[in-house]
Chain A
Amino acid sequence: MASTASHPSPRFYWWVAVVLAVITALEIAVGSMKFFAPVKVVGLYLLGGVKFAAVVGLFMHLKFDKPIYRSLFLVGLAGAVPIFIVLLLTFNRLT
């Protein structure tokens, strides 16, 4: 079985954790905003998305591992989206 890539060093993981901690602090700051609601919503989704991608890609090694694992996870993630939309459409809550 061919190797895809090697593990990053522990030092790299510590740096990722520092970045994640900073993003969490930013999330809290944006979340406490009492004005510019659309900016707040978009900002929180973006920051949450970056954290999600960092943990999946770097801590779960999807960035370094075989593409098949990435595909399997993305299929599940993509499966969640139609369920989300259909459920909200069914109850007329999409908008």
Chain B
Amino acid sequence: MTTAPTPENVLTDHHDGDHHDGDHHDVHPIRKTAMWVFLGSECVFFGAMIATFFLYRTEFGDGPTAEEIFNIPFTSASSFVLLMSSLTMVLAHNAFDHKDLRKARVWLAATALLGATFLSGQIFEFVEFVHEGLTVHSSPFGSAFYMLTSFHGAHVLIGVILLATMFVLSLSGRLYADRGLNIELVGLYWHFVDIVWIVIFTIVYLLQV
């Protein structure tokens, strides 16, 4: 006789027999390996874009300079929000590993909200910059800046969508440990988005002013 799946019992129903709390056995190795290969390729992708920004970082043309428009306190607050979302993500993963689905759900929601807050801040910043004369067409610096930060923003948006999907799946008891959209894989992607921002915040913002 089988038990009907509920949000609380799916974790145990779909775990591998050799799983122990705290071990990293909850994802099929091939899927996790594929995720690390993907993240490695993303390093090359963002590396090329950061190099492009380096080429044009002082080419302000007729547009405003970085020092004139950057609002470091605001961007620092945004960076802090994204950094803390990495904490909530790792806490969600930890709770999931300990089969505490309710807590995992809370941390997932917190991560998605922090991600959405970061994105709102980025949109606000872009609107401010456009009003101050920095557009994609205003200077090579503007093109490189928007290309790099908006690609990163797109990655954050995808991450928020994935987190929201995981949250919805958890409500209906379809958040499995060993198949489907997995909390560990989404967590890896989310932390990657955070480390890319750590580099962007240093190179694009702090070193420019």
Contacts and interface: CB of A to CB of B under 8 A. Distances in A.
B25 A3 contact: yes
Interface string B53-80: 0110000000000000000110010011
Given A13-B87, A31-B209, A83 B195 contact: no
B40 interface: yes
Q: SS class of chain A's interface: helix, strand, loop or mixed?
A: helix
Interface residues on B, range: 35 or more
Interface in B114-158: none
Contact of B202 (A48, A65, A76): A48
A45 B203 CA distance: 8
B14 interface: no
A1 B207 contact: no
Interface string B183-202: 00001100110110011011
A38 B184 CA distance: 40
Interface residues on A, range: 35 or more
A81 B47 contact: yes
A54 B110 CA distance: 21
Interface stretch (B4-12, B16-24, B171-179): B16-24
A92 B195 CA distance: 28
Interface string B76-91: 1001100110110111
B72 A80 contact: no
B32 interface: yes
Contacts of B97: 7
B168 to A, nearest CB: 24
B206 A27 contact: yes
Contacts of B163: none
Given A76-B44, A77-B40, A87 B206 contact: no
Contacts of A93: 54-55
Interface of B: 18, 20-25, 29, 32-33, 36-37, 39-44, 46-48, 50-52, 54-55, 72-73, 76, 79-80, 83-84, 86-87, 89-91, 94-95, 97, 187-188, 191-192, 194-195, 198-199, 201-202, 205-207, 209
Interface of A: 1, 3-4, 6-7, 9-10, 13-14, 16-17, 20-21, 24, 27-28, 30-32, 41, 44-45, 47-48, 51-52, 55-56, 59-61, 64-66, 68-69, 72-77, 79-81, 83-84, 87-88, 91, 93
